[in-house]
Chains A and B, each alone.
Chain A
Amino acid sequence: MTEGQVPLQIVKFGLDRGATDVVAKLIEYDTTMIRFSNNEITVSKNYREAVVDIFLMIEKQRADLIIPLASTRALESGVERLINMAKITPPADVYAPLPEGPFSYDPSIQASPKISTTPDRVVGYVEKAIEEAREMRAKKVAGSLIASKARIDLATSGNVSAFREKASLEISVRAFASDIASGHFVSIAENEDDFRPGEAGRMAGEIANASLSPAAGEAGRYTALLGPLVFADLVNQVGALSSAFMVDAGRSFLIGKKGLGVASDKFTLTDDPTFKGTYGARAFDDEGVPARRNVIVEKGVLRTYLHNSTTAKKFDEDTTGNAGLINPHPWNLVVEPGDGTFEELIAEIDDGVYVTNDWYLRYQNYQTGDFSTIPRDGMFRIKHGRIENPIRELRISDNMLRIFKNIRDLSRGRYWIKWWEVGIPTLTPYSVVEDLNFTKSTM
């Protein structure tokens, strides 16, 4: 038996032992990460692993097992353990049999182009990013480079036997022109041609240099220009909390909003794993259902929650191909662009703030959408249609629904964003949000 046949074998064994439904997934990956700081490589890392994820149901009783790839006997023993776990797990409220295949998948998405992960190649990417940032007068540069290759073999009792191979490159670069003047940018790609470590370094360096000698920001409500990193963070919230599981758990500001306006009519968000050649493209979800393009928000109206077969049954809807066996989630978020250039968006703002990055987003209440997050890196006052001066130490303290409803404009140009703070790859423009609330420390 080859390793690729392991999932099928597990499914068969699980059914023989009394499961009504079985999903088995073998994940093998080889990831190299180079971390750097102070213009130097701090550590070079490689992870090479093979993991088996088995999910089974005895109708409403569900159990999941994640273990290292092992011998056939050890895997069978794992399945037996899982059967016993499921048997003593009290039943859930719904039973949705796994979607019945076979399905056909787009072969051009099933396998992404080959990338090189040789040490010299990945170190070269890092050197390029540091060099470009320093050319923009950054004094010190930090970040991470990740080069990854993975193969996933999936089998289900719904007559699914499929594989996908994925390669990806990503770099996150933070440049410092002083202790309190920094900029951040990223590049992510599925192939080497689209990977731009130098551009990420240059943009981070540019922002850092522009943010030298920042003045203290003043709390208040401003028209805000949100850079791609910030807007991707907010869009990730919409994507992740459109999961039907999160809605059911009370952890979403989208509860009860299907068919209703949740954003400005300028805002359309799709989850598009069929977007060929992109970082988040994928052929199928964790139940083997072909991944598909879903419009989550169309011109401001919430069109769908994201489902696996279980949440779909509970909501009396169809799966959207977003399994997550427990929690459905988006794969590849795409925000429709606007018309203006970056310069045109700035020119339209009379009295505002341009925020280039943020982190540490926390909710006061997921259902109302009240939250705050902290701008980091370059932040600038905009007056009379032009960037006036860098500022610092403000916090965005507002409400998700209010922010999305207050989107006034989006840029034509878009960037793919994913980094430490933004987990779901997102193609996003710059966004202009009216009346955004900024607060600051009082002492």
Chain B
Amino acid sequence: MEELLEFCINLALDLGSEYAEARFQSDTGESMILKNGVPEASLFKEAKGISLRVLYKGSMGFASTNKTTKRDAASAVKRACKLAKAASRVLKKEVSMGEGELGSDKVVVKPRVKFDYVDLGSKIELMKEADERAVEAAKEAGAELPARMFTMGTLTTEKAVLTSDGADVTSVVPRAAFSAFLTAHDTQRGTVQRSFNLGESAGWEAVERWNLPELMCEESYSLAKTLKEAVSPSKGAMDIVLGPEVVGLVSHESSGHPGEADRILGREAAQAGETYLKMDSLGMRVGSDVLNVADDPTIDHSFGFYMYDDEGVKARKRILIKEGRINEFLQNRESASVFGVQSNGSSRASAYNREPIVRMANTFLEPGNFSKEELIEGVKDGVYIKNFMEWNIDDRRFNQRYVGLEAYRIENGELKERVRNPVLEMTTVGLWSAIDAVGKDLEFQAAYCGKSDPMQALPVWTGGPHARLRGVRLGGA
């Protein structure tokens, strides 16, 4: 494959490109859908091919093909160059590739238990067992679980990235993923729903570790309890403790996305939007002193794991917010050249036929010193929001809404009854500034982050410990 990529690079340079990047990517995996305890179908997908990205007089062209013969590859190179040339006629501001620590390396994540070692039937049986336990647990809590949908997927991604200025990186990463959607029902109380994902860059051992039957038992029991017992929360100013699942989402939506350099430059303006941050926002205070948010692709087994990005730049941990101030943006080589900085290895593409753009990997609030109990003990009147169902944020990443699912009233430092659908609707700076204490119990959740056009859904972790917010208004305006 490397020979073919090299051929593509040389051809692109021969055709007048000042920069060329060739990438092979193969995503091979199977998935199973279990709906209401019944297998819908088993699915196998192999998506593989090559893409070329070129710069011609500062104009960027991209072409892909899933036919990997030399002739088809040459055709893709020519198409990329032809498109770039056509656009270069009307271009006033040229694109260039900034500096970055280019790699020459091979990264292989070895699964302890290969996906093939476990047959498909056993995988589905595991899902069925989890489904049965979920139904039983809900029943034990006094509710039905009439609608359930589980999806289990295993995926192996192989990549090779070669650039005309020296990057030469290959990688093999297996990923295991599970998603669940549950509906609990009670004749008197209606329905509540829960959706969540699990995911790791690992082999089948990750699925074994998740202990799906036990997990689904806990999730369903709690969901049913929420349905049966939760009461409307009081509204108004109070203290809030957020669980790691909510903190992780906030870190992703309200720190990771606004800190993407391509958003700052307006490159995503018509789709995923822009950001309230500007090129000169480094150092700007956006939160309290205890706030430190990072994005780190290099965390072992993380869902967003990589050691080199899709421009061949070495990955590293990025401190996005340090002690409440904007510290660093996520950069690829294209954005880095505009900012006059080095790429920090944030370029990712979801498949061979997608352009690499600035993306997050694993975004999280750095842990502090408090235990969960200490955080709650410090609240006289408030609410603990453990997880959520509804959320969204505006396209400048400044106004967000999180609606809690499993949540409890806090009175004089103790958890009391469950409360239903507490609404937190506030600005990014308002939310980050209200945090006065951060837990030490860092946890991660899997998610799929959507961005770009065509849409690229990428595996990420979102994470954080428990965190306490002082004096925020619950219930929205």
- Chain A contact residues, CB within 8 Å of chain B: 32-35, 37-38, 40-51, 55, 62-69, 81-82, 85-86, 88-93, 119-120, 123, 127, 140, 142-144, 172-174, 176, 179-180, 184, 219, 245, 248-251, 325-326, 359-368, 370-374, 376, 393, 395, 397, 420, 439-443
Contacts and interface: CB of A to CB of B under 8 A. Distances in A.
A326 B33 contact: yes
Contacts of B170: none
A364 B190 CA distance: 13
Contacts of B79: 46, 48
Interface stretch (B1-9, B89-97, B105-113, B290-298): B89-97
A404 B61 CA distance: 44
5 smallest CB-CB distances across A and B, nearest first, come from A250-B147, A119-B86, A44-B83, A364-B390, A443-B430
A47 B393 contact: no
Nearest to B41: A62
Contacts of B33: 326
Contacts of A179: 274
A123 B44 CA distance: 38
Interface stretch (B200-208, B301-309, B361-369, B469-477): B469-477
Interface string B26-52: 000010110110111111111111000
B173 interface: no
A144 B268 CA distance: 10
Contacts of B91: 40-41
A364 B403 contact: yes
Contacts of A362: 390-392
A362 B392 CA distance: 7
Interface in B366-410: 389-396, 398-401, 403
A246 to B, nearest CB: 10
Contact of B76 (A40, A48, A88, A440): A48
B85 A89 contact: no
Given A395-B425, A440-B476, A92 B38 contact: yes
Q: Which of A32, A48, A184, A442 has the most CB of B within 10 A?
A: A442
Given A44-B61, A45-B83, A45-B355, A374 B395 contact: yes
Contacts of A44: 59-62, 83-84, 86-87
Nearest to B64: A47
A87 B287 CA distance: 56
B82 to A, nearest CB: 6
B38 A172 contact: no
B472 A82 contact: no
A363 B390 contact: yes
A17 B348 CA distance: 41
Contacts of B392: 360-362, 372-374, 395
Contact of A250 (B40, B92, B93, B146): B146
| Binding site secondary structure of chain A | strand
B269 interface: yes
Contact of A442 (B89, B93, B265, B472): B472
B390 A143 contact: no
Given A92-B41, A219-B476, A248-B35, 15 more contacts: A32-B83, A37-B269, A38-B266, A40-B93, A44-B84, A45-B61, A47-B63, A50-B67, A62-B42, A88-B120, A249-B147, A250-B147, A363-B390, A365-B193, A441-B425
A45 B425 contact: no
A116 to B, nearest CB: 13
B353 interface: yes
B128 interface: yes
B35 A249 contact: yes
B272 to A, nearest CB: 8
16 contacts: A37-B268, A40-B91, A41-B90, A44-B62, A49-B353, A90-B121, A143-B270, A251-B181, A325-B41, A367-B193, A376-B394, A395-B401, A420-B271, A440-B425, A441-B427, A442-B425
A363 B389 contact: yes
B66 A68 contact: yes
A326 B355 CA distance: 29
A441 B472 CA distance: 11
Size range of the interface on B? 35 or more
A311 B177 CA distance: 27
Interface string B222-260: 000000000000000000000000000000000000000
B269 A374 contact: no
Contacts of B147: 248-251
B59 A41 contact: yes
Contacts of A67: 44-46
B454 A33 contact: yes
B281 interface: no
A37 B190 CA distance: 47
Nearest to B475: A442
B372 to A, nearest CB: 25
A361 to B, nearest CB: 7
Interface in B153-172: none
B70 to A, nearest CB: 15
Contact of B270 (A47, A69, A82, A174): A174
Interface in B170-224: 181, 183, 190-193
B408 to A, nearest CB: 18
B403 A92 contact: no
B124 interface: yes
Nearest to B32: A89
B273 interface: yes
A38 B270 CA distance: 10
Contacts of B300: none
Contacts of A365: 191-193, 389
Q: Which of B39, B60, B353, B423 has the most CB of A within 10 A?
A: B39
A328 B259 CA distance: 38
Contacts of A90: 39, 121, 124-125, 128
Q: Which of A41, A45, A362 has the most CB of B within 10 A?
A: A45
Given A45-B63, A249-B149, A441-B427, A376 B273 contact: yes
Nearest to A310: B40
B426 interface: yes
B270 A37 contact: yes
B57 interface: no
Contacts of B148: 250
